[in-house]
A and B are shown apart, each in its own frame.
Chain A
């Protein structure tokens, strides 16, 4: 039993304990033992092994460099994806805006043609006023602009984020005080326009709006004073200083506001009833 390798090998059961106690590969010790027994290797053999080890070290160095490059290269790749997404978002936004402008133009065209068909100036005026009141027509007049902005830490603190409820309560206060036309960030409100939450964002009708929110309202001359003194304005003014909200809140009196027409909502369930005393409706049931 001179050669330790001839002994029946005793396997270390507790591998991890062994690993923690002596992390060096036991083969090194064994090789040293062998060498001590066998005596030094021939010089050419030794030199050859040394050269192989150097080549391996060169390879390891290359491995480090390549792995580092790989890790660094990953970062611009992510940046590229992000930039691509941003450019797609802007492109889509531009398209949406173009479509909205087109829709408005067509709406104007429809209005003009209808007035041509209608003929009677009194009826035209009546139709115009009804449309202005319902939000289907552009209106101008004096009023105010309420500016509501997220708190400075909106990205991390939910309390700093303006939610749909904030806009609803301001809009409702304005309606209550006699406002005749209201728009949020250029989106005119009708009696059918919901202000609701979609995920983290706020939708006015079908349109996504982002802060800061500008609520423009046209109404009676004392609308500004009344709104400034309202409980709603008091609450939001107080919240400007409250650390849990810190909303930006500002009310400006503004003359000659111009509010756009709302996009015509599609009525799917409500139908216009046949006018009283008219003959029975046609079988298609359109009512008109």
Chain B
């Protein structure tokens, strides 16, 4: 419950404060969003499975964002940025779908 509130507080704060993203980091924003979605849905699913762990959640998010960003950065340097971005989005997208399906099974038993 508090977790949902914290998320909402963050959204409102982001909307009101309008922090500026450094230009160099802007290309990584979409990837960071997908990685964050993955962490959030993974966390919700773990919670429903009864094995949620705060430390695990924090570490998984940070490492996801860093690895995804690093892959995209490397891809940009090698000239295959869009392809590697697609790869990252596909892998994280599969995980999001799988976790959302698990959440759905938990909530609706279907």
Out of A23, A27, A59, which one reaches B56, CB within 8 Å? A27
How many chain B residues have a CB neighbour from A under 8 Å? 48
SS of B interface (majority): helix
Instruction: Please name the residue on chain B nearest to A65 by beta carbon.
Output: B14
Cα–Cα distance between A64 and B34 once the two chains are bound (Å):
10
Residue of A with least CB distance to B95: A23
Separation of A66 and B21 alpha carbons in the complex (Å) = 8
Task: Say how far B100's CB is from chain A's closest CB, in angstroms.
Answer: 9
Interface string of A15-33 (1 = CB under 8 A from B): 0000110111101110110
CA distance A74 to B50 in the complex (A): 41
Residues of A within 8 A of B79 (CB): none
A62 adjacent to B51 (CB under 8 Å): no
Contacting residue for B15 out of A49, A65, A70, CB 8 A = A65
The interface residues of chain B lying within 8 Å CB-to-CB of A83 are none
| Docked pose: A11 CA to B101 CA in angstroms | 26
- B21-64 interface with A by 8 A CB criterion: 21, 26, 29-30, 32-33, 36, 39-40, 42, 45-46, 49-61
Q: Give, as a whole number of angstroms, the nearest-CB distance from B9 to chain A.
A: 6
Stretch of A2-10, A50-58, A126-134 that contacts chain B = A50-58
Question: In the bound complex, what is the Cα–Cα distance between A69 and B15 (angstroms)?
Answer: 8
A28-B53, A52-B54, A60-B40 known; A20-B7 Cβ under 8 A? no
Give CA–CA (A62, B61) in the complex, Å: 14
10 new A-B contacts, CB < 8 A, other than A20-B94, A60-B7, A66-B21, are A23-B98, A28-B42, A28-B51, A31-B55, A60-B61, A61-B8, A63-B10, A63-B14, A66-B29, A70-B21
Q: Closest Cβ of chain A: how far from B5's Cβ, in Å?
A: 9
A63 CA / B61 CA spacing, docked (Å): 12
> Is B13 interfacial (CB-CB < 8 Å)?
yes
Among B10, B53, B91, point to the contact of A65 (Cβ < 8 A).
B10
* B33, A64: Cβ atoms closer than 8 Å: yes
Name the contact of A23 in the complex, choosing from B7, B55, B60, B97 (C-beta under 8 A). B97
Residues of chain A lying within 8 A (CB to CB) of residue B58: 49, 52-53, 56
A32 → B minimal CB distance (Å)? 4
User: How close is A74's CB to chain B, nearest CB, in angstroms?
Assistant: 10
Nearest-neighbor residue (CB-CB) of B2 within chain A: A54
- A contacts with B: majority SS: helix
A62, B45: Cβ atoms closer than 8 Å: no
* Contact status of A67 and B94, CB under 8 A, knowing A23-B99, A24-B45, A24-B46: no
- Residues of chain A touching chain B, judged by Cβ–Cβ distance below 8 Å, are 19-20, 22-25, 27-29, 31-32, 35, 46, 49-50, 52-67, 69-70
Q: Give the residue of B9, B13, B29, B61 whose beta carbon is less than 8 angstroms from that of A56.
A: B61
How far is B29's CA from A50's CA once the two chains are assembled, in angstroms?
26
Given known contacts A32-B53, A57-B6, is B14 in contact with A66 (CB within 8 Å)? Answer: yes
**Contact assessment for B29 and A70 in the assembled complex, using a CB-CB cutoff below 8 Å:** yes
- Distance, CA A57 to CA B30, complexed state (A): 17
Nearest opposing residue in chain B for A58, CB measure: B10
Complex: chain A residue closest to B26, CB-CB = A70
Which of B19, B36, B51 is within 8 Å of A29, CB to CB? B51
- The CB with the most chain A CB atoms within 10 A, among B6, B30, B91, is that of B6
Decide: B98 and A61 in contact? CB cutoff 8 A. Answer: no
Distance from A56 Cβ to chain B, minimum over Cβ atoms (Å): 5
Select one of B19, B29, B56, B61 contacting A31, CB under 8 A.
Answer: B56
Show 15 A/B contacts (Cβ-Cβ < 8 Å), sorted by A: A19-B94, A19-B95, A25-B42, A28-B51, A28-B53, A29-B51, A57-B3, A59-B10, A61-B8, A61-B9, A61-B11, A61-B14, A63-B14, A63-B33, A70-B29
Closest Cβ–Cβ distance, residue A53 to chain B (whole Å): 4
